[in-house]
Chains A and B, each alone.
Chain A
Amino acid sequence: MKNNTWTIFKKECARFFGDRTMLMTTVVMPGLLIYIIYSFMGDNFMQPTEDDSQATVYVENMPETLRPVVEALPFNLVTDGFDGETLKSDLVLKDSDFAYMVFPEGFDSLVANYNPAGGLPAPNVLIYHNSASEKSRMAYDLLCGVLNQWEDSMTNRFDINASSDAGEVFDLAKDEDIVGDLFSELIPMLLLLMAFSGCMSIAPPSIAGEKERGTIATLLVTPLKRNELALGKVLSLSLFALLSGMSSFLGMMLSLPKLIHADEMGLSANIYTFSDYGMLLLLILCTVLVLTAISSIISAKAKSVKAASSVMAPLMLVVMLVGMMPMMTGTEVSSNAMFLIPIYNSVQSMSMVFAREVTLIPVVITVAANIVYSVLGVWVLTKLLNSEKVMFSK
């Protein structure tokens, strides 16, 4: 009766896909809501402000190399006819919506001739702003970002072409790195969170709920083996968690460009290869299996749906913290053995894929380890289903 697993799987699917409310709340709504909210936020709050309400940026000694870059930014640019001291005193006011940037005179040649080993201070750019004013702060952030980017590219190509002109600063490779960095820090965590929240909304009703309602006992008196039940549950729940997570993820990915105004900034996610996506899919699949196994075990141990959810809530925090590891430590991992740690291994591997620094071995270790953990998880779940203390405790 090996196909009992399949019978259970089919029943769970009939339950899940036949229940319009369940489908709505776990698959359709999360993605839709995220899409609507993010798009709305992008349209209304993050929009580079219209001409007359754009932040003004006053620039003193604008270097020729940077001029085209700064001019391309969504600011009202003023490069002469102002008094620096007045600006600085005006900036103290809370509703001052401008920033004031001062380059040292002859910045370009200073930079070109600067010798980091010479012991002299590097040329310094000053940006006066008022962080209490939204526009001023955003102008500051954007200017910092652009200058840092530019500085990176200066030192990167110092040996090759120290007098490169500004038009080349934002070359394609650089953009890919921006996207890659952004994605590698954010997306794995978001993926993980969405998958886990999918598990959180699906596993407790399906396992703790069946226990609570006494429907699982009806299954336990049939010749159905406990491991068949455990496997059927984990596989079907993984599928639903995957769908739920995918929905959230799609909603996010579709609205993210709107949120960060990627098109206006010239960013694109179109930088990954077919094998990147393949690895990502594998990683996501094995991660969802692990997360489902964990959620199922918690749900089986819990006395009620409520109890299961309340155990899983703090776990969400843990998952989030682990998900933030690439932001804190980057994609470097001290040893391949680290890829044996569940959840952490998924985050790091996905992060490496997104940063386009992925190598085969960590991914293989991650996928293999996670499959082993899932099998272990099914085994533990089998034990729990077999335990009368867990199944029938009063």
Chain B
Amino acid sequence: MEEILRVEHLCKTFELSRKQQKIEGTTRTKTVAVNDVSFSAYKGEIFGLLGPNGAGKTTTLRMLATLIAPDSGNAFINGCSVVAEPEKVRAQIGFLTSELKLEDFFTPNYLFDFFSQLYGIDPNVVAERKRKLFSRFGIEKFAEVKVANLSTGMKQKVSLVVSLVHDPDFIIFDEPTNGLDVLTARTVTDYLQELRSEGKTIILSTHIFSLVERLCDRVGIIIDGQMTHCDTLQGICAGQSLEDRFFEIYKEKKGETA
């Protein structure tokens, strides 16, 4: 197996604003979001980060996508360090999350071309790729409709397509099905499997057990910023259902800290 992602001792602490302190009912001024996380992902697999809300999944993925920098530790994608060579990393990855929005004013067609230019892609390749992706996701009819006027589902599909204009080999997907209607969710998960069969590597985060069971080859369980387990799906489950196994692990972890 060819290792394509290596995560080494990633740590990230956030300062809490007053507002956040109130929301979380705490007087702590800092919160450790990711605490010494290490793991690897291999070419052609779907790796799932599984954990409850607030576990640090999004924070980990944002560090991999170079949107935020780790306090310490490092990660290498295809040998490029997210700390030292963020631009090289960005050129190779596709980062998908509902946080990343498209400007309402533009059409899918314009946005596809615009982002293709930012990735420096040959215009001939762009046209062909656009045709393929638009037809795969049924965007053709809406190619000239402003994002503002698209349905939520169509917006998400356009977001996904725009994140893949450069046909990245490494895809980071935060909560792939969050907020999607069932049909769009299905389209997306089917597409992820398709991408895997093309040899692409996907790392996704989720708190949905069934999604992990259906999609993931390997799983990392992350609780309170720490990765407690990392193994193949079978290895983690050890004969139990993923859900049962997860709560066992969760209790162990919480018992240990209590």
Hey, which bits of chain A sit against chain B, CB under 8 A? 1, 4, 7, 11, 14-15, 18-19, 210, 213-215, 217-225, 388, 392-394
Contacts and interface: CB of A to CB of B under 8 A. Distances in A.
Nearest to A1: B120
A19 B95 CA distance: 29
Interface in B52-77: 65-69
A215 B91 contact: no
B146 to A, nearest CB: 10
A15 B67 CA distance: 25
A370 B101 CA distance: 35
11 contacts: A1-B120, A4-B118, A19-B105, A213-B103, A215-B103, A222-B90, A222-B118, A223-B87, A223-B88, A388-B68, A392-B68
B26 interface: no
A210 B100 CA distance: 11
Given A15-B103, A217-B100, A218-B101, A388 B90 contact: no
Contact of A223 (B101, B110, B120): B120
B69 A388 contact: yes
B118 A18 contact: no
Contacts of A15: 103, 105-106
B115 interface: yes
Interface in B154-177: 162-163
B20 A221 contact: no
Given A210-B103, A223-B120, A388-B67, 9 more contacts: A18-B105, A213-B101, A213-B103, A213-B104, A217-B99, A217-B101, A223-B87, A223-B88, A394-B20
A157 to B, nearest CB: 64
SS class, residues of chain A in contact with chain B: helix
A219 to B, nearest CB: 7
B105 A221 contact: no
A321 B100 CA distance: 41
Contacts of B99: 214, 217
Contacts of B117: 4, 7
Contacts of B114: 7, 11
B128 to A, nearest CB: 20
B119 interface: yes
Contacts of A215: 100-103
Task: Give the one of B68, B103, B106, B110 with max A CB within 10 A.
Answer: B103
Contacts of A214: 99-101
Contacts of B69: 388
A180 to B, nearest CB: 45
Nearest to A11: B114
A219 B90 CA distance: 11
4 cross-chain pairs, A with B, having the tightest CB-CB distances, nearest first: A214-B101, A223-B91, A218-B100, A388-B68
Interface in B1-56: 17, 19-20
Given A215-B103, A218-B101, A223 B90 contact: yes
Contact of B67 (A1, A11, A221, A225): A221
B103 A222 contact: no
Nearest to A229: B118
A222 B67 contact: no
A208 to B, nearest CB: 14
B110 A14 contact: yes
B67 A217 contact: yes
Contact of B118 (A7, A213, A217, A392): A7
Interface in B83-130: 87-88, 90-91, 93, 95, 99-106, 110, 114-115, 117-120
